[in-house]
């Protein structure tokens, strides 16, 4: 699955954006797993700074929370990710 890489001029301290270490701490999932979910399932949609750092939004955090709930219910990771992406897309207002 090809993922577009978005590079932006976002200030990392801008409200709502966090780097992968902080996101990992918040959700209790290792950064390696988060990167795998991003790569394999398109679960996360980070922006990138000019320096290449991933910056995650509250919507990314919501998708992870939904994914974790679905995994606890026994869904396979690919299906859990698909449902988590769909669920958050329907609850997150468009910019």
- Residue 47 · residue 10 · CB < 8 Å: yes
Beta strands of the chain (E only): which ranges? 47-48, 54-55
- Taken in order 1, 52, 60, 87, the sign of the CA dihedral is negative
Q: Give me the residues of the chain with pLDDT under 70, please.
A: 1-15, 91-95
Per-residue confidence (pLDDT) for residue 27, from 0 to 100: 96
* Model pLDDT, residue 2: 47
The distance in angstroms from the start CA to the end CA of the chain is 25
Question: To 10 degrees, what angle do helices 77-91 and 31-41 make?
Answer: 80
């Amino acid at each position: 699955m090809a993922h577009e890489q978005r590079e932006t001029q976002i200030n990392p301290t801008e409200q709502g954006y966090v780097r992968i270490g902080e996101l990992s701490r918040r959700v209790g999932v290792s950064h390696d797993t988060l990167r795998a979910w991003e790569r394999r399932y398109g679960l996360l949609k980070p922006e990138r700074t000019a320096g290449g750092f991933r910056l995650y939004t509250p919507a990314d955090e919501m998708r992870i929370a939904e994914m974790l709930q679905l995994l606890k219910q026994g869904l396979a990771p690919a299906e859990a990710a698909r449902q988590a992406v769909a669920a958050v897309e329907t609850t997150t207002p468009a910019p």
